[in-house]
Amino acid sequence: ETGVTQTPRHLVMGMTNKKSLKCEQHLGHNAMYWYKQSAKKPLELMFVYSLEERVENNSVPSRFSPECPNSSHLFLHLHTLQPEDSALYLCASSQDRFQGEDGYTFGSGTRLTVV
Amino acid sequence: EDQVTQSPEALRLQEGESSSLNCSYTVSGLRGLFWYRQDPGKGPEFLFTLYSAGEEKEKERLKATLTKKESFLHITAPKPEDSATYLCAVQAWYGNKLVFGAGTILRVKS
């Protein structure tokens, strides 16, 4: 399988639940990203990983916890979320964190609903 | 702070009616400006990267241009399958992230 794969595609969770989002890329890229997309708002960067090291945390609340065990996998662990955290969570990868001619490759996202 | 503003917010065209989308940006040293297309329920799909003022790139019915303050995405003789949200993003030389605009929702009716 090629490209960036995100699972699950849809997730409904209560405010007291703990869940994880998974992202996998088979492109040989060295940088991976989590973005949040809310309705009618720009994509909002959450985290940047380069060679499995977190290089940016864009003031994200601690109820979101990223993990990058290797250059092909990225997780976003969720706990005690709020209804306003409901959004489309997008994972992306690129050859390196300084971009490049081919841009980012995005996954299809996980549609998260917090009830 | 790097900023991207896209206009219009939404655009409805008849099939074959050419038009342009605008992306205005402020960034302290532009490394690159990027255009993406996003279909409902999917992640953004990369279209173009532009690096310097005066640069142009084309792909089928789309042409992207860049000046020092803005970029245009020209759509020539659009078809219904061109309907999507078009996103613009910039990256600064000192940064390792893309800053996105809110997008333009394009609807092309046959």
Which chain B residue shows the shortest CA-CA distance from A31? B96
Structural contact between residues A49 and A63, judged by C-beta atoms closer than 8 angstroms = no
Instruction: Count Cα atoms within 13 angstroms, Cβ side, for B27.
Output: 27
The DSSP 8-state label assigned to residue B80 in this structure reads: G
With tokens 């009618």, the residue in question is A40
State whether A103 and B36 contact (CB < 8 Å): yes
Structural contact between residues A35 and A92, judged by C-beta atoms closer than 8 angstroms = yes
The pLDDT tens digits along chain B (110 residues) read 889 999 999 999 999 999 999 999 999 889 999 999 999 989 999 999 999 999 999 999 999 999 999 999 999 999 999 999 999 999 988 777 889 999 999 999 99
Whether A2 shows a pLDDT value over 60: the answer reads: yes
**Burial of A98: CB neighbours in 10 Å, binned 0-12, 13-18, 19+:** middle
Phi, psi of B81 (to 5 degrees): -70, -10
Give the tens place of pLDDT for each residue, A54-99: 887 778 999 999 999 999 999 999 999 999 999 999 999 998 877 6
The DSSP 8-state label assigned to residue B9 in this structure reads: S
- d(Cα B20, Cα B12) in Å, to the nearest integer? 12
pLDDT at B18: 98
Distance from CA of A107 to the nearest CA of B (A): 5
**Burial of A60: CB neighbours in 10 Å, binned 0-12, 13-18, 19+:** middle
Q: By percentage, how much of chain A surpasses pLDDT 90?
A: 76
Whether A102 shows a pLDDT value over 80: the answer reads: no
pLDDT at A55: 80
Distance from CA of B106 to the nearest CA of A (A): 14
Q: Nearest by CB to B46, which of A33, A50, A104?
A: A104
pLDDT at B94: 79
Calculate mean pLDDT across residues A2-29: 93
Distance from CA of A28 to the nearest CA of B (A): 17
Which chain B residue shows the shortest CA-CA distance from A109? B43
Amino acid identity, position A36: K
- d(Cα A14, Cα A12) in Å, to the nearest integer? 7
